[in-house]
Chain A
Amino acid sequence: MIDFMLNGQPRRCEATPETSVLELLRETLGVTGTKEGCASGDCGACTVAIGEPGPDGELRYHSANACITPAHQLNGRHLVTVDGLAEGEALHPAQAAMVACHGSQCGFCTPGIVMSLFTLHEQQRQAPAPLTPQRLEAALGGNLCRCTGYRPIRDAAMTMSAHPDHRPLWLDAAAPKQGEQADPPADATFLQPTSLAELNECLKRHPRARLVAGGTDLWLETTQRLARFERIIDVTRVAELNAVDEATLKDGRHGWWVGAAVTYSRLEPLLEEHYDAFAHLLHRLGSQQVRNRGTLGGNIANASPIGDTPPVLLSLGSRLRLVGPEGERELPLDEFFLDYKRTALREGEAIRAIFLPRPAAGQTLKVWKLSKRREDDISAVLGAFTWRMEDGILRDVRLAFGGMAATPKRAARAEAALEGHAPDASAFLAAREALAEDFQPMSDVRGSADYRRLSAANLLERLRLVIAQAETDSPREVMLHAYAH
């Protein structure tokens, strides 16, 4: 049973475990303002806002793709859709601005765009900040429009604050208490543990259940390949998995244990403070709707060779803390990825936290992602590089790549070619040649093997230029900063 609020009204529904929020809206409830464009979380036509209480108890709204959000995760939440925003003839500012700016043509993507603008409007209410191009891109990058070319939508975003603030009062209504979660029936098919102890209990009882956090990948199995899930364990409400704890490892490294259910959006401030390059990558990972729901734990457990964060974490020397029936264990991330989509996770095990080390003194991180489209695309190649300069010599060089092998992987030979050398042309030439030994990439829809080989090698050349540039303070640009830092 799912207890939630829909546009200010309490609702109670039954649903199978694989039901999405979009199916619940359109098929179960007959509320059809929210559209299906792709059922894969890539177009944003189904964007809705989900409100959950923040630390102060006030509801915070974030955007989500309804097509790949598990309906059961609405439990205890407030779902806001385009159908509810206008009160009679009084349009919400997001709607009024879209009309005034001629922001809709065919209108099919419009409900999703309105909801993305709505969440931006809510953010502005709670913490007003300048609408920089970067912010607008984050707010709207997950909504495809095939008609307008986006200019009028940009204008709508910039001008909506000038429209009368018709904001439904029910937006502040508290969400209902979630039903029956404290003590779920033994045969429940969608389990929502709230503590590590409960999670362990669930894992013990149902070692083969599928784990879900944001669902941004798992749900494609059902929308695209029609999978039925026998049982789902939802980790998003496990308190321990939502924590970010400062810690010191046995090897003396300082850093943070980031809970596996921490979303990209929540991780952003920490990364912005410590790892500019990682934060920049995050802006190009999926869309706002995906970042609001996707998690570091999911990206790692999914073990895709083209996941964006694993190469970065590999280059940073990250570790994992796993929970399972036999208690907890730790292992270096290098040992986690075994083969294509195969990991060291045993049956009934889950990732509890990911160790993000604090940048070491003098350490630099560069993350360069190559894709067909700058925004909301999957990598063809991603390179993540860390190093230190010590008296003109490269130290602690770690070069990790995505898209170059069956798993995210470090380029061991190329690392060796650079380690302990001056960053000169001959060392990088050796690294370039070694890289060809490290990887035999394949051709697929995102790029040919030749392109992968050449561009990955050229990223090493960019690395050389960046290091040289830092030494000489040259003003010449060696990359496009919209893509890379």
Chain B
Amino acid sequence: MRTLTKLNNSTVADDVSAESATARHELDGRIKGSSPLARDTMHAAPHPHAQAHESAVKHVTGRAAYIDDLKAPADTLHVALGLSPVAHGRLTRLDLDKVRGMPGVVDVVGFHDVPGHTDIGPVFPGDPIFVEEEISYVGQVMFAVAAESHRAAREAVQAAGVEIDEQPACLDPVAAAERGEFVRPTHVQQSGDWEQALANAAHVIEAEQFVGGQEHFYLEGQACLVQPTEDEGVIVHTSNQHPSETQKLVAEVLGIPFHAVTVEVRRMGGGFGGKETQASPWACIAALIARRTGRATRVRLPRADDMRATGKRHPFHNRYRLGVDDQGVIQGGEITVIGDCGYSPDLSDAIVDRAMFHSDNAYSLGEARVTGHRARTHTASNTAFRGFGGPQGMMAIEAAMDDIARRIGEDPLTVRKRNFYRPGRQTTHYGQQVDQIALLRELVEQLETSSEYWTRRRAITEFNAESPIVKRGLALTPVKFGISFTAKHLNQAGALLHVYTDGSVMINHGGTEMGQGLHTKICQVVARELGLDTDEVRITATRTDKVPNTSPTAASSGADLNGQAARDACVKLKERLFDFAHEHLYKDQGLDREDMRLESGHLVAGYGESERRIPWGELVQSAYLNRISLSEKGFYATPLIHYDRNVGQGRPFYYYAFGAAVAEVSVDTLTGEYQVDRVDILHDVGDSLNPAIDLGQVEGGFIQGMGWLTSEELKWNEAGRLISDGPATYKIPTYGDLPPVFNVKLMEGHPNSMASIYRSKAVGEPPFMLGMAVWSALRDALASLADYAEAPRLDTPATPERVLMAAEALRSRYDAAQAQGAV
């Protein structure tokens, strides 16, 4: 028997500020129950550990296996897809005979070959697995070919005879909204008499903006490998954020029970939301072919097919009309957001909701009405992407902040701070109290100081006065992001814990690993609960036959939900082991059952001289011999949350995560070229579960958000065909876009005010929106061309072209005004 013993038993005293101590005290009352679970979440990890990613060594040696690296039987089939070349029309003829005759082709499938459901819409119907007749976008799947090689399948696709009765395509979401072309009904949130507030306001700020979409550009494209099983089912290996949904859809398409389908995800080469619903169609198609042919079947989409066929971040059109007082403080008004949903609902209902929930960002809107439309257009069905509509909603209010500042002639930071949620103005337009308002203020003030905002502001103003071509800009933008799925039922998670007789531990949970370090964090949670090294805890893969009915790994919730579920399993097992030890191992030793703990690879009971220690391995083996179960399942459901969509009010979020960024840019106003010179970030993760991983999320999120707002431009031609369909034309940030000065810190000393896992906070999405600072800084630089009297409209992505055109518009208008003034 291997016994696991360790000597490292360092403890670090909790170091918390008075405010957070008070917060904890308050919560003692709020979190009911005296179970160990409720008690222990009050405390931060004794030593938050910057543990390396569990797969780091495998990543750098090429041993980490992605879907297309998995060994498969020699006769595995390869699939290529026949995609629609037009955006809207009727498929009048689909002749696949020639395709069947192409070299290496084994099977060709289309709509009429599907035995079960043909609609694979994830939440609402509307996504046919193959085109039946109606074609809704360029890139929609018409048929699939399975051949002996990837290339043979791709070549065969080209032999199809396709005739389409083409119809005019709608590519403009605003026009669609005006015509009432929606994929889901409009939703409204309202607080107070917004019309009166507008009427009474000293100034009314009014503008509109276009916020561009974003391609996920996960480096590993959509891929799956499906193997038929000996009964009617399949095993699906997939690069996928939502295995349970894929299980359901595959079963429905095949017309078999869910238990005949097992879905496994070891890791993804990036997800970002792009594999939440968009990974399922390929699994369904491959499963269909695997069942028809009895052979393993692979799909991997070529990058251009991937970019055409799958949905992206929703482009948005936002409008705002806000009444402010002389200090620039918002009194009320209205914000309307129109999400460009593409051809079907997919997740758009919740995404536009989240845009609405975040159209306030960190500011009180006062008496406000927020309206969200879900426009239908003939493009791929837009989908989840880090932030899930939140970023697009925030862009409206951040634009307004700059606009207000120019109107009243104050620095944008001053205006932002005046509008923050504050005592007396603490309730959002959807009725949730904003907790931790002091935290946001403190965070921004710390950053203001550490970034030397005001010193640099003065230097920049002086520089711009002397520099006619190159202009500099500076901006601080905050983030307040609500954590929880707004679909309440998704806020649950399960875990399965096994302890083997050598003491090694296996944990499975419902979350998937896409690089965000979820598995690393879960292993740390289990190791901490069981007093072990993380080396002793392993996660194999996420499998629907280990933990069933899981939620997608999305909404930043992976660690919050699954961490609690894993912990629940550990706590239950721990209690059982303590009971066992108390009864069998320490009988009549006078040791208090309540004092037992697992630490440093031992079960420890008692203190000081009466302390007794049993190595973990010995404990486990004795438990086994005494017929005590060493397996446990855990479950967690987020408390307190609710939202009534009928009235647009509630408390949809368990808590908020905060952050802020300061960006400085230089702009060449002759060409629109610009560079980001310096970025300072302070971000709130509560008590970090793993500072290295959290820092990685903050930095990576910022750069991805910056890319969204700057160089990443999706372009369709007039016929609705995506023409930025690969990395040659779609430009995500590269090494040179890393700001030369990049100071990124995690906020310390502010544990989550809610009882999250070890008082940590979700970190996947919130930092993405820090990228708004770059966009706002570009507007600041441009505003100098008009002596800061006007903030230019700057739609996104703010490519050099858009920056130049904004500069040109501003300069001609301002110069004309100057000339007129001179006359």
Contacts and interface: CB of A to CB of B under 8 A. Distances in A.
Contacts, number: 276
Given A35-B269, A39-B302, A81-B62, A479 B469 contact: yes
A254 to B, nearest CB: 34
A454 interface: yes
Interface stretch (B24-32, B225-233, B498-506, B664-672): B664-672
A106 B268 contact: yes
A458 B219 contact: no
A137 B735 contact: yes
A144 B468 contact: no
Interface in A40-67: 40, 42-43, 45
A140 B735 contact: yes
B398 interface: no
Contacts of B270: 106, 108, 146-147
Given A40-B728, A380-B801, A445-B729, A102 B269 contact: no
Contact of B218 (A146, A149, A153, A448): A146
Contacts of A148: 696, 699-700, 703
**Residue among A81, A86, A372, A478 with the highest chain B CB neighbour number at 10 A:** A372
B155 to A, nearest CB: 6
B732 A146 contact: yes
Determine chain A's interface SS by DSSP, over half rule: loop
Interface stretch (A189-197, A201-209, A244-252, A459-467): A459-467
B670 A149 contact: no
A478 B800 contact: no
A34 interface: yes
A84 to B, nearest CB: 9
Contact of A454 (B154, B269, B675, B804): B804
Contact of B219 (A43, A448, A482): A43
A377 interface: yes
A40 B699 contact: no
Contacts of A110: 59-60
Interface of B: 50, 52-53, 55-66, 68-69, 71, 149-151, 154-155, 158, 216-221, 267-272, 302-304, 466-470, 514-517, 666, 668, 670-675, 692-693, 695-696, 699-704, 711, 713, 715, 723-724, 726-729, 731-738, 740, 742, 744, 799-801, 804-805, 808
Nearest to B722: A445
A32 B673 contact: no
A38 B466 contact: no
Contact of B711 (A109, A370, A372): A372
A465 B469 contact: yes
A281 to B, nearest CB: 14
A476 B468 CA distance: 8
B808 A45 contact: no
B325 to A, nearest CB: 39
Contact of A108 (B219, B303, B304): B219
Nearest to B307: A38
Contacts of B56: 98-99, 102, 104, 107
A147 B735 contact: no
B62 A40 contact: no
22 contacts: A32-B65, A42-B726, A91-B57, A91-B60, A95-B57, A99-B57, A102-B693, A102-B695, A104-B59, A105-B700, A106-B218, A144-B217, A144-B734, A151-B738, A370-B671, A372-B713, A374-B673, A446-B729, A480-B470, A480-B666, A480-B675, A484-B673
B711 A226 contact: no
A396 interface: no
Interface string A95-138: 11011101111111111001000000000000000000100110
B105 to A, nearest CB: 15
A144 B732 contact: yes
A149 B68 contact: no
Given A372-B800, A373-B734, 4 more contacts: A141-B734, A141-B735, A149-B700, A447-B801
| Size class of the A contact interface (CB-based, 8 Å) | 35 or more
Contacts of A144: 217, 219, 727, 732, 734
Nearest to B691: A102
B66 A141 contact: no
Determine chain B's interface SS by DSSP, over half rule: loop
A358 interface: no
A258 B162 CA distance: 49
Contacts of A480: 470, 666, 668, 673-675
A107 B268 CA distance: 9
A373 B731 contact: yes
A43 B727 contact: yes
Interface string A450-485: 110011001101100100000000001111101110
**Residue among B59, B268, B701 with the highest chain A CB neighbour number at 10 A:** B59
Contact of A374 (B304, B724, B737): B737
Contacts of A445: 715, 723-724, 729
A448 B53 contact: no
Contacts of B733: 149-150, 373
Interface string A23-40: 000110010111111111
A108 B715 contact: no
A164 to B, nearest CB: 15
Nearest to A89: B57
B303 A82 contact: no
B62 A32 contact: yes
A134 B675 CA distance: 15
A137 B736 contact: yes
A458 B61 contact: no
Nearest to A100: B52
B736 A107 contact: no
Given A144-B219, A147-B700, A455 B671 contact: yes
B62 A82 contact: yes
Contacts of A82: 60-62
Nearest to A81: B62
Nearest to B799: A372
A264 B555 CA distance: 46
Closest 3 CB pairs of A and B: A33-B62, A106-B515, A108-B269
A154 B646 CA distance: 50
A33 B63 contact: yes
Given A35-B66, A451-B804, A476-B466, A105 B515 contact: yes
Contact of A378 (B150, B728, B805): B728
B154 A85 contact: no
Nearest to A455: B671
A240 interface: no
Given A39-B302, A108-B220, A445-B724, A149 B64 contact: no
B362 to A, nearest CB: 23
A35 B269 CA distance: 10
Contact of A459 (B50, B671, B695, B736): B671
A450 B808 CA distance: 12
A450 B68 CA distance: 44
A137 B808 CA distance: 32
B219 A146 contact: yes
A8 interface: no
A108 B808 CA distance: 42
Contacts of A295: none
A86 B267 contact: no
B154 A226 contact: yes
Contact of B61 (A37, A91, A142, A373): A91
Contacts of A438: none
B587 to A, nearest CB: 45
Nearest to B154: A226
A484 to B, nearest CB: 8
A32 B668 CA distance: 44
B303 A149 contact: no
Contacts of A45: 219
A454 B640 CA distance: 57
**Residue among A86, A149, A151 with the highest chain B CB neighbour number at 10 A:** A149
A477 B724 contact: no
Contacts of A446: 729
